[in-house]
């Protein structure tokens, strides 16, 4: 309930007015059978009308009660008028509750999206993107529907039951007890049904998230699927998840059908009981015919919201599950500053001192790392897969915080520098380049929105992609498609490099971001980077020795530790990982040259 109340913040006045409107509409609905009772018993019949003195005086002023008997249309007009007024309040209820629900859903989407943006990098690494999408769309829509429809229906049910009991009691207490006899049974049955169906909603919702994840993975990796001919395997995988989802929905439908059948049976018994007992009391003279009509009408009006309790509880079960899934994200702690949140001028001097970091406790991926980089140096990091190369630069960007040791930028402890400030001063190009489904110009300008065309073209030239772009029919206005699907891997990497270079940052990191380009283009890019990045501290992570051999300093990592630090010439003369990689790549290059000569 605390979560529900918190969700309605900002829309509570609208909900209150909507509930008041449905209360007035329910009261008017209760008056309509009373007019029919008066018409049957006192206008058509000869029983005296029990009305307040003010109404009695009004009747006398227009000709007495006899005038109603001669003009039945007055009773009809009263019914039509009440129905019209009730319709106005029902319209207000529908409009206000829908408006409040849409406002609430919008607020939830903004709040959830904003929170996801502020979650730590480690959370996103472990999360299923398909499941997150499910929570941000389907789960919020489930909550919206409940608040738009069932939230006010709960108020309507309370008003109807309260008014019906009060008015029926004023007419005949014995018949009131008979009319209410089955209601507690239906209520208890609805609670049992709610407890059973809620568990199935949880499983169905989670399975829908798994189904979304499979679909997203397939669409994202469609080229891999087609390249390896995995279409049938992917179809089978999707079909398995789809079948599980269908089975959960079948269970829910089965429970719902049992509930509606049982509740309909109980409601039919209740109406039959009222009809039989009412006829008996009417024939015996204990109750008038008009009162019998009122009780039958009230009974149908009373049983509908009670019967609807199952639907309300069913939707409440869905809503409860959805709110729980949304709250799981909102309860995740946001990425917070652990130090002084300083924003110093960053020049580019970096110092690692005995740094240790582990993703899982007891399994360090970076162990006791120490080195120093002067401003403007180009430093290469090489090593086998899993040696901790990417983890090292992730620490520098504060995507993760180190467990032990110290990292200083220009003599200032990294943890004391504001995270966003560090990331705004450090440019990183990843191996897997992500491009937005926009024009090439827009993708390059994303890191600097106010950049002009000259800056865009300069950055593209430095990344050796300007010539490629101008060869396209629309040039820089070419739409690259989702995740840059219309470009080759090397072209995507070069556009990503241009996007980073356009900002003129003091520290640049290239995380194996030249792996998809040929050796000649690699050499051109490195040459332009050397010309551009004088005074810029540059990290280059690569498996290709030709990419790192011109670096001022090469750091060799092996199993999370530094095995050696030196220049290319120094390292190829020492036994170790670097020398072995160089020898293997050198021999492959020689074999390729011999093969080319033989051809």
CB atoms within 10 A of CB 10: 12
Residues 322 and 384 in one domain: no
Predicted confidence (pLDDT) at residue 80 exceeds the cutoff of 60: yes
**Sequence-distant (≥ 6) Cβ neighbours of residue 27 within 8 angstroms:** 159, 163
Looking at the structure, do residues 448 and 562 belong to the same domain, yes or no?
Answer: yes
Domain that holds residue 302: 98-330
Q: 550 vs 52, which has greater pLDDT?
A: 550
Residue pLDDT, tens place only, 123-172: 887 877 777 888 888 888 888 888 888 878 888 888 888 888 888 888 88
pLDDT tens digits along 183-225: 788 778 777 777 777 778 778 877 887 887 788 777 767 766 7
Confidence category of residue 591, pLDDT binned at 50, 70, 90: low
Average pLDDT across the chain, whole number: 80
Integer angstrom CA distances of residue 124 from 70, 164, 220, 418: 78, 54, 17, 21
φ and ψ at residue 248, rounded to 5 degrees:
-65, -40
- The answer to whether residue 169 is domain-embedded is yes
The angle at the Cα of 398, spanning 332 to 549, to the nearest 5 degrees, equals 140
Section 43-65 average pLDDT:
57
Confidence category of residue 328, pLDDT binned at 50, 70, 90: confident
Residue 144, classed as helix, strand or coil, is: helix
Looking at the fold, whether 264 and 362 belong to one and the same domain comes out as: no
The CATH number given to whatever domain includes residue 190 is: 1.20.1560.10
Do 572 and 586 touch, CB atoms closer than 8 A? no
The verdict on 143 and 254 lying in the same domain is yes
* 471 and 325, same domain (yes or no): no
* Mean pLDDT, range 294-313, rounded to an integer: 76
Answer yes or no: do 415 and 466 share one domain: yes
Tell me the average pLDDT across 33-46.
73
Q: What is the pLDDT of residue 89?
A: 92
The closest alpha carbon to 542, from 356, 393, 375, 354, belongs to 393
Does residue 458 register a pLDDT over 80? yes
Confidence of residue 517 (pLDDT cuts 50, 70, 90): low
Question: Residue 357 pLDDT > 70, yes or no?
Answer: yes
Rg (CA), the chain: 37
* In the predicted structure, residue 451 carries a pLDDT above the cut 90: no
Say yes or no: 323 and 358 in one domain. no
Report CA-CA distances (Å) from 249 to 135, 143, 232, 430. 18, 18, 25, 42
Of 205 and 326, the one with more pLDDT: 326
Please provide residue 144's backbone torsions phi and psi, each rounded to the nearest 5 degrees.
-60, -45
Report the number of distinct structural domains present in the chain: 2
CATH number at residue 586: 3.40.50.300
- Tell me, yes or no, whether 171 and 268 share the same domain: yes
Over 70: is that where the pLDDT of 45 sits?
no
Q: What is the model's pLDDT at position 594?
A: 52
The winner for highest mean pLDDT among 68-77, 132-141, 528-537 is: 132-141
pTM here is: 0.71
């Amino acid at each position: 309930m605390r979560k529900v109340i918190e969700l309605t913040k900002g829309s509570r006045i609208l909900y209150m007015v909507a509930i008041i409107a449905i209360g007035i509409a329910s009261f008017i609905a209760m008056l309509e059978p009373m007019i029919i009772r008066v018409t049957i018993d006192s206008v058509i019949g000869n029983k005296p009308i029990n009305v307040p003195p003010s109404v009695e005086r009004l009747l006398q002023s227009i000709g007495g009660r006899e005038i109603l008997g001669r003009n039945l249309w007055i009773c009809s007009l009263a019914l039509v008028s009440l129905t019209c007024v009730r319709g106005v309040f029902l319209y207000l209820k529908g409009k206000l509750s829908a408006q409040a629900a849409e406002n609430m859903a919008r607020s939830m989407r903004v709040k959830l999206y904003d929170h996801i943006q502020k979650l730590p990098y480690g959370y996103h690494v472990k999360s299923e993107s398909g499941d997150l999408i499910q929570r941000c769309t389907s789960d919020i829509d489930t909550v919206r529907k409940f608040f738009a429809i069932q939230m006010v229906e709960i108020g309507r049910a309370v008003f109807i039951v309260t008014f019906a009991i009060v008015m029926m009691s004023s007419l005949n207490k014995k018949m009131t007890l008979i009319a209410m006899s089955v209601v507690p049974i239906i209520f208890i049955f609805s609670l049992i049904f709610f407890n059973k169906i809620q568990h199935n909603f949880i499983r169905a919702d989670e399975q829908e998230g798994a189904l979304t994840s499979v679909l997203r993975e397939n669409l994202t990796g469609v080229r891999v699927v087609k390249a390896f001919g995995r279409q049938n395997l992917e179809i089978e995988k999707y079909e398995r998840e789809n079948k599980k989802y269908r089975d959960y929905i079948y269970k829910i439908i089965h429970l719902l059908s049992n509930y509606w059948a049982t509740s309909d049976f109980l409601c039919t018994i209740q109406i039959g009981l009222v009809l039989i007992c009412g006829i008996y009391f009417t024939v015996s003279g204990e109750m008038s015919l008009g009162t019998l009509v009122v009780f039958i009408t009230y009974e149908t009006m009373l049983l509908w919201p009670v019967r609807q309790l199952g639907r309300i509880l069913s939707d409440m079960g869905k809503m409860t599950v959805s709110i729980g899934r949304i709250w799981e994200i909102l309860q995740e702690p946001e990425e917070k500053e652990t130090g002084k949140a300083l924003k110093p001028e960053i020049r580019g001097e970096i110092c690692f001192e005995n740094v240790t970091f582990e993703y899982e406790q007891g399994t360090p991926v970076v162990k006791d790392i120490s080195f120093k980089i002067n401003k403007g140096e180009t430093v290469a990091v090489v090593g086998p897969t899993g040696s901790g190369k990417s983890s090292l630069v992730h620490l520098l960007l504060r995507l993760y915080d180190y467990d032990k040791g110290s990292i200083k930028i220009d003599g200032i402890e990294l943890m004391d520098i504001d995270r966003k400030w560090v990331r705004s001063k450090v440019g990183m190009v990843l191996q897997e380049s992500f491009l937005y489904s926009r024009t090439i110009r827009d993708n390059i300008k994303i890191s600097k929105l106010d950049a002009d065309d000259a800056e865009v073209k300069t950055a593209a030239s430095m990344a050796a992609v300007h010539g490629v772009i101008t060869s396209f029919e629309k040039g820089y206005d070419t739409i690259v498609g989702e995740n840059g699907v219309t470009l080759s891997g090397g072209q995507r990497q070069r556009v990503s490099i241009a996007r980073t270079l356009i900002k003129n940052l003091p520290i640049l990191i290239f995380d194996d971001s030249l792996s998809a380009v040929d050796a000649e283009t690699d050499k051109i890019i490195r040459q332009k980077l050397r010309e551009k990045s004088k005074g810029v501290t540059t990290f280059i992570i690569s498996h290709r020795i030709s990419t790192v051999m011109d670096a001022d300093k090469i750091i060799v990592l092996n199993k999370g530790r530094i095995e050696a630090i030196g220049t290319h010439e120094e390292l190829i003369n020492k036994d170790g990982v670097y020398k072995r990689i160089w020898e293997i790549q050198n021999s492959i290059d020689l074999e390729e040259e011999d093969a080319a000569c033989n051809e």
